[in-house]
Chains A and B, each alone.
Chain A
Amino acid sequence: MTANGQALDGLVAASDPLSTRTAFKNLNVLTRPIVSYAPKTLWELDTAKLPMSLARLRRRARDFADKVLVPAALELDVTPQPPLGQWNPRLREVVSQAGRRGFMTDMVVPPPMGTAIVRGDRFPVWAIAVKTEEFSRACGGLMLTLMVPALGQCPLLFSGDVNALRRFLLPAFREIKAGEPHPFSFAITEPTAGSDVEEGHGASVYDPGVVAKRANGGWLLRGRKRFIGGGDLSKTIAVFAALEGEGMESWTCFVVQPGMAGFKPVRKELKMGMRASGTAELEFSDVFVPDTHIVGGLRQGWALNRATLNFSRIPVAGMGVGFARAALEAALEFACSTRLAGKPLVNYQEVQLMLAQMVAETSAIRSMVWQQARTLAPRQGAASMTKLYCTDRSLEVCNMAMDLMGNHSLLHANRAEKAFRDARLPIIFEGTNQINRLAVIEDMQEEVLAKCLP
């Protein structure tokens, strides 16, 4: 990386005696190694800070994103969703390639069943957050298609239910690694309940929208689930339902699969962004689910749901980092390729200021994600604060990019507006950021209450 003696307006060239690059090289031989450094890209600098296995993952994920996701992103963003249950062929190919390269079986299960690298420095949440950043930076809709299955796998993994793993996860992993898509979904949201199913206070008074009624050898599920990522294509859906006559505390996780009588995806949503990924409403009309499809036991659903959200909200924050980076990169490209009065925009101070702010914001939220992801068991408060802060700031970076690009930011081909539309969703899903703020306080209640005591 060299600038060949050139400098942006208002700044000294790296070869100038006043540049730190040059000045540091002239220091004493003992101090030089401490302060001097070679130029590197921001991405290289950040990657170097990761544990080795995660750095390797980040490189692989970026390579995959650049070669497979970026070329498909704009097309899939504007192509109407195919009818329910049908794949867009290009999307299917992306999913197939991701599966073959081990990106959809690498959460925690090591080879030969899965593709996870199990090492002391490879925290699963961190690994997923690294992937969500790289994939989101390429395309929100494709990222969601590739990452939602991990969400659907979580209840199965957290259940510790060997039967569920053997019965549902391992055969699916075999398909995925062979290039045959096997999407998983996580079905908690109901038509009249978004936030109620994501926080305890609301759930305590909510009438469950999907109810399981006892039948011979199993349960009959009735009701609807809404806004289910990849729901119409999913081959394994973790459906949460309350037991008949009981409240949300009876929530149980059932595995529903296409072809079960009474199960039907009924519609797909028309979304603002993340449009490569289908979002479906699912109908359950007395769907018979055998006892063997219960995950983790009766009345364990609420705990599995909350554990899943604690696990997934930090990677959702990672999505925010990816969208911020997408916006930043789009703005930087524009600032270098667009000229005003004979020179690229990046030479103007107001443009440099905006870019620097975007770099700082993106770096700050990435630091938060990586700091909070360094754990095996994310706490509710940590997961929620990371999710709400990073996704909010991410949208602000998208706004900055659009402001930098002016009315050119409205053009789809320039990608900044797509980053905005994609970045807007994580502020709503996995609990609105308002609900996540309350989750932070809820999780520190003991500390708060102790201060309230006389």
Chain B
Amino acid sequence: MTGFIRRGHELTADVVEAPDVCIIGSGAGGAVTAARLAAEGLDVVILEYGGWFTNQEFSLDEAVAFPQLYMGRGAWSTKDAAITILQGRSVGGSTTINWTTSYRTPERILAHWRDRHGSTLDEATLRPHWDAVDQRLNISEWPEDLANANNQVLFRGCRELGWQVHHLRRNVKGCLNSGYCGLGCPVNAKQAMGITYVADAVAAGARVYANVHVDRLVRDGDRISAIEGTVLQQDNENPTGVKVRITPRVTVLSAGAIGSPGILLRSGIDPNGQAGKRTWIHPVGGIPAIFDEPINGFHGAPQSAASHEFIDRGAGKIGFFLEAPPVQPLLISGAHSLIGEQQADFMTKLPHVAIVIALAIDGLLDSEQGGTVGLKGGGVPTLDYDVGPALQETLAASTRAMARIVLAAGAREAMFMHATGPVRLTSEADLHKLDGLSYGALQHPMFTAHVMGGCAMGSDPASSVVDPNLRHHHVENLFVVDGSVLPTSLGVNPSVTIYGIAHWAADAVAAAV
């Protein structure tokens, strides 16, 4: 069968298909799974909620790109609006808009999963899959001398303090170091799913239907008998009137850590009450700093440096890792709560602003519950995330660490954007100003770009959604293959973990057909 990608407006008649496998979602999990299954000769259909945009169609204008390529049209957050959620929605999912940082899963995390969650994954099992992914996505070293000035701040500050810092690996080929990873790579240098594994799957006969909202999985006993969906307009949530009904032998849910549990809940498939529980987000706080010299952090690869100095802070404490974001106007407009003149003063210094971010490694403490995905009216999934005391302590510690980094790197002024007003620091002598502040939800800006968990893999059906081979505990022809199966967060950017797990899990999915 000839493969294709169809946009919603191109579908004029109801879509009725009976493939071997239907994969819901075309991001890091769904695309890799689809390519492997299609390569084995299986008949594959992919349903993608978002649209399909080529590099020629990516707008490099944030005002256009965010509505096109991000969940919630770029206006998505946790239920209390405290934490902005950056998650992709287009063919390629979040890989279309991620910042390309590529880490394999740390062994200490895999060991934690084996010890505490009944996972069977270890480095030796995943290594051949990661090697294959590395080759397909050209994941390779990104030398430090290509780092932009914003990332050089992180390198320099850490070294001044004697802290660990390292350069990164990235999934790029022919990267021009422009800085527009987050808006869709304009020259296809980023090896995102749309131009790699999705294209491979299509070349092998897979059919991709974009702009399809999956309304529900139809459960018949211990099997999924059908997937019902609605075709949406490319530019809004309005239905075109075309319906989708897929009756696959096996269904793979790869809609991400909010979408996948959302579909299970919308379909009434939650026999043990675990769908959407224990959702992890690497909660992110940041410190902007003003430098005398130009930083121009809006250009250049968004991420070239990271520090793992604080990933293990001892028993009972949540670790964090340090990275840098792109310093582009829309993103930075949410990195403060400044009003009026103060906002003008800060934003118009944009070329001189550097930012360090700290990502908390949530999910490893027994006391943590994580976030919960639920449904609001109309079946729209929403994430409720409580920033508890352990995370508040981490946010306080990471804020202090970030301030020290930018000051050590030579910042004229570091700014902690607290809700009660900006806290300005010009030297280490000012660090005491960070003491005694309240940290956490709605106390200062926070965001997440890594949504994980919610359909955890595990050996115990009472505390997980899928088994160690990613098959649903209670539905035999349903697999979940995406970031939602992670039992905890990772302490590193998650894309390569998801690629590797999907590449590995495809064998189990194929065997179930």
Is B a genuine binding partner of A? no
